[in-house]
C-alpha cells in the first residue's frame, strides 16, 4: 500500500467496469479521491456510470457486471480484495448507502422498528433495550415527531420525504465513515429535498462521516459539495473544487450540463389572455378521502380533506403551472379536473358546459378531449407492447382506416423525435425517450386539454430541458391547453403562462411568472423559492 492511498479515506483507482456478455465498458478508468470529513459529488447524466461506480464501492454490482481493472482503496485497504463475508461486515458498519427511492430499500412487509434495528443487531452486541433507545434517539435527530409510533409503522404510511429521513436515520445509526447517497432527493419536492439534504450534512458533521453524493442536480452540488467529479459515458471528464468546476468549467460537457439548468433571465413575460370563455373551469372543488382505520361509534370514517374550494380557469392554448410540496393537493387537483376522482362538491365546466359524471355520453366526449401524461412513463407503459402499439392505442376506436392510423402514428412519432422506433420495447428506450412516448400517446388524438403530472421530475437536467422544449413546441403546433403539475418552480417558469401555488389543499397564491416568482406575497411561496439551490450561492463561497 502506498502512502497516497492512506492519505484519502476513499481512492477509486483507475476503476473499469464491464458488461460480461458484450464487453461494453460502463465505467472507464475512473480515478478520484475523497478525504475524511469531505463532501464530494459525482455528477452526470443518466447512463454516465456514476451509480455503477457507487455500487462497485459497496460490492452491490448487478449480476453480469464485472470489475475489469483497477482498485477501490478504503481506509488504506483494497475493497476488491475483501472476501464477500468480510465486505458484508464492512458495509453498514463503516460504509453506508442511501438510495434514490427509499421504498426499494425499506421492506414494505416489515415495520420500521425491525428494519432500523437490523444493522445494530448484526454489527453490535447491544441489548434489545439499548437498540430501541438508539433508534428512538436517531429518529428524534432526524426530526420524526412521534418516534415510538414510527417504529411501529410500515413504510407505506409515510410520505417520500419522511421515508428518506427514516432511511437516512437507519444508515447513520452505525456512524459509518463513508455515506454514499445515490440521487436521494430526485422524487422529492423542494422543501423535502432541502430538509433531507440539510439533515444529511448535519448528521455527517456530527458523526465525522464523509459523504459521496450521486446526483444530476448541479444546484445541490453548488449548495452542499466541496469537491465534484463530472462523468460522461463512463469516463471522468472533469474534477476539482466545486467553485472552480461549476463557475469556470474547462470541458465542453460540463458547460453543456450547466447550460441545461433552467434560467429565468431569458424568459419573457407573456401577454395576458382575454376574458373569453375558458376551455376548462374548475369551480370551488372540494374532495376528501377516508382515513384508513378511522371510524366512529356509528361506523362513519373520518375523512381527510385534500381540496378546499379550489377554483381555476384555463383558456385554450394556455399552460397553467400548479406548484407545491408533497401533500399540497396539486396532483389530486389535476386528476379531479379530469373527473378521474369523485368530487365532494363543486363542478367542472368544459367549453362552457358543466360536466356530469353520470352522463356516459358526455363523459366519453370529455375524456376523449382530455389526456394525462404521467410522472413515471416506465410504469405507465405496457412492457408487453411495442412503442408503435402504445402510441397508436388511443386510435383503436377512431373511425379511421388502418392506413390513416399508420400515417397518424408515423407523423406523431416524427413530431416527438422517435421516428423509426415503433418496433422497440419500452425497456429498450432511455428515460427521456419513454417520456416522449407518453407525450405522443397523450397527443395522438389531438386533445384540447392535457394534464402533465410531474413529467420531468425523474429526468436529469439535459433531458429535462429537451422534454420541456418538446412540450412547448408541440403545444404551439397543436394548440392544446395544459395544466402542468410540478414541484420545480424553475422548470415550470420556462413553460407556463401563469402559476398557482397550492398548500394543504388551497390555492395560496396565483398570477403571472413575474408576479409570483419575483414578487411573492405568501410566506409559503417565499419558502419554496428559498429552497431552490442555485449556482449563485457559490459566488461568495471561499475556495478551500
Regarding pTM above 0.75, the answer is yes
- What three-state secondary structure class fits 41? strand
> What confidence tens digit (pLDDT) does each residue in 423-460 have?
999 888 877 888 889 999 999 999 999 999 888 877 77
Q: Is 125 in contact with 148 (CB distance < 8 Å)?
A: no
Bridge partners, residue 304, by sequence: 289
Dist CA 520 CA 271 (whole Å)? 20
At 298 the pLDDT is: 55
**DSSP, residue by residue, 340-378:** SS--SEEEEEETTEE--TT-HHHHHHHHHTEEEE-S-HH
pLDDT tens-digit map of 127-176:
999 999 999 999 998 888 889 999 999 988 887 778 888 988 999 998 99
Does residue 99 contact residue 105 with C-beta atoms inside 8 Å?
Answer: yes
Separation between Cα atoms, residue 121 and residue 276, nearest integer Å: 67
Find, among 480, 394, 492, the residue nearest to 441 by Cα: 394
Distance of alpha carbon 475 from alpha carbon 442, whole angstroms: 12
Provide φ and ψ at 112, rounded to 5°: -60, -40
Cα separation, 160 vs 128, in Å, equals 28
Q: Do the Cβ atoms of 117 and 135 come closer than 8 Å? A: yes
Are the beta carbons of 457 and 377 closer than 8 angstroms?
no
Sheet containing strand 25-34, strands side by side: 25-34, 10-19, 65-74, 77-78
Question: Which pLDDT value is given to residue 413?
Answer: 93
Triad 207, 177, 76: Cα angle to 5°: 145
pLDDT for res 72: 95
Confidence (pLDDT) at 441:
92
- Dihedral of CA 263/260/391/336: which sign? negative
Three-state secondary structure call for residue 406: helix
Segments of the chain scoring below 70 in pLDDT = 1-7, 102-104, 187, 263-275, 291-301, 377-378, 539-544
Give just the sign of the alpha carbon dihedral 515, 519, 521, 525.
positive
Q: Rounded to an integer, what distance in angstroms lies between the CA atom of residue 150 and that of residue 157?
A: 9
CA dist list (Å): 171 to 23, 91, 142, 180, 206: 34, 10, 12, 10, 14
The 3-state DSSP class for residue 418 equals coil
From the number of C-beta atoms within 10 Å of its C-beta (0-12, 13-18, 19+), residue 83 rates as exposed
Rg over CA atoms, the chain: 25
Q: List C-alpha distances in Å: 2 to 11, 33, 350, 493.
A: 12, 14, 72, 52
Percent of the chain with pLDDT over 90: 50
User: Residue 384: which residues within 8 A CB-CB, separation 6 or more?
Assistant: none
Report how far residue 138's alpha carbon sits from residue 119's, in angstroms, rounded to the nearest whole number.
13
All three cell numbers of 33, joined, read 479521491
For every residue of 236-281, DSSP letters joined together read EEEEEEHHHHHHS--SHHHHHHHHTS--STTPPPPPPP-SSPPSEE
Nearest to 197 by CA among 166, 159, 168: 168
Alpha carbon 40 to its chain's center: 21
Amino acid at each position: 500500500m502506498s502512502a497516497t492511498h492512506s492519505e484519502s479515506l476513499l481512492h477509486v483507482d483507475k476503476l473499469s467496469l464491464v458488461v460480461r456478455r458484450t464487453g461494453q465498458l460502463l465505467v472507464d478508468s475512473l480515478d478520484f479521491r475523497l478525504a475524511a470529513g469531505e463532501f464530494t459529488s459525482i455528477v452526470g447524466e443518466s447512463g454516465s456510470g456514476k451509480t455503477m461506480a457507487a455500487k462497485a464501492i459497496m460490492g452491490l454490482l448487478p449480476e453480469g457486471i464485472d470489475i475489469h481493472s483497477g482498485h477501490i482503496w478504503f481506509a488504506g485497504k483494497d475493497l476488491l480484495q475483501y472476501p464477500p463475508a468480510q465486505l458484508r461486515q464492512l458495509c453498514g458498519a463503516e460504509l453506508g448507502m442511501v438510495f434514490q427511492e427509499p421504498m426499494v430499500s425499506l421492506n414494505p412487509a416489515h415495520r420500521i422498528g425491525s428494519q432500523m434495528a437490523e444493522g445494530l443487531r448484526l454489527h453490535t452486541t447491544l441489548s434489545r433495550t439499548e437498540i430501541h433507545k438508539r433508534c428512538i434517539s436517531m429518529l428524534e435527530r432526524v426530526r420524526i415527531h412521534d418516534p415510538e409510533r414510527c417504529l411501529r409503522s410500515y413504510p407505506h404510511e409515510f410520505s417520500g420525504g419522511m421515508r428518506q429521513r427514516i432511511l437516512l436515520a437507519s444508515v447513520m445509526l452505525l456512524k459509518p465513515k463513508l455515506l454514499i447517497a445515490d440521487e436521494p432527493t430526485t422524487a422529492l419536492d423542494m422543501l423535502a429535498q432541502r430538509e433531507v439534504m440539510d439533515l444529511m450534512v448535519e448528521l455527517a458533521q456530527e458523526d465525522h462521516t464523509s459523504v459521496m453524493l450521486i446526483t444530476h442536480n448541479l444546484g445541490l452540488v453548488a449548495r452542499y459539495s466541496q469537491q465534484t467529479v463530472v462523468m460522461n459515458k463512463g469516463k471522468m471528464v472533469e474534477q476539482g473544487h466545486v467553485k472552480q468546476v461549476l463557475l469556470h468549467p474547462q470541458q465542453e460537457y460540463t458547460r453543456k450540463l450547466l447550460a441545461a439548468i433552467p434560467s429565468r433571465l431569458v424568459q419573457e413575460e407573456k401577454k395576458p389572455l382575454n376574458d373569453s370563455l375558458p376551455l376548462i373551469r374548475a369551480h370551488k372543488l372540494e374532495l376528501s378521502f377516508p382515513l384508513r382505520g378511522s371510524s366512529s361509534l356509528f361506523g362513519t370514517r373520518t375523512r381527510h380533506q385534500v381540496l378546499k374550494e379550489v377554483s381555476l380557469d384555463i383558456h385554450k392554448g394556455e399552460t397553467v403551472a400548479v406548484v407545491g410540496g408533497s401533500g399540497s393537493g396539486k396532483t389530486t387537483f389535476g386528476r379531479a379536473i379530469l373527473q378521474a376522482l369523485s368530487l365532494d362538491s363543486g363542478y367542472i365546466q368544459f367549453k362552457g358546459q358543466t360536466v356530469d359524471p353520470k352522463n356516459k355520453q358526455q363523459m366519453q366526449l370529455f375524456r376523449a378531449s382530455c389526456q394525462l401524461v404521467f410522472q413515471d412513463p416506465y410504469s405507465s407503459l405496457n412492457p408487453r407492447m411495442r412503442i408503435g402499439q402504445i402510441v397508436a392505442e388511443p386510435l383503436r376506436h377512431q373511425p379511421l382506416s388502418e392506413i390513416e392510423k399508420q400515417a397518424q402514428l408515423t407523423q406523431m412519432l416524427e413530431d416527438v423525435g422517435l421516428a423509426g422506433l415503433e418496433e422497440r420495447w419500452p425497456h429498450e428506450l432511455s428515460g427521456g425517450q419513454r417520456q416522449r412516448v407518453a407525450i405522443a400517446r397523450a397527443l395522438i388524438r389531438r386533445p384540447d386539454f392535457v394534464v402533465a403530472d410531474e413529467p420531468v421530475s425523474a429526468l436529469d437536467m439535459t433531458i429535462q430541458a429537451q422534454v420541456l422544449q418538446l412540450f412547448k413546441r408541440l403545444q404551439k403546433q397543436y394548440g392544446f391547453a395544459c395544466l402542468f403539475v410540478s414541484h420545480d418552480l424553475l422548470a415550470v417558469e420556462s413553460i407556463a403562462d401563469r402559476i398557482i401555488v397550492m398548500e394543504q389543499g388551497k390555492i395560496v397564491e396565483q398570477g403571472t411568472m413575474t408576479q409570483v416568482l419575483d414578487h411573492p406575497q405568501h410566506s409559503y411561496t417565499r419558502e419554496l423559492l428559498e429552497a431552490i439551490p442555485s449556482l449563485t450561492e457559490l459566488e461568495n463561497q471561499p475556495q478551500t
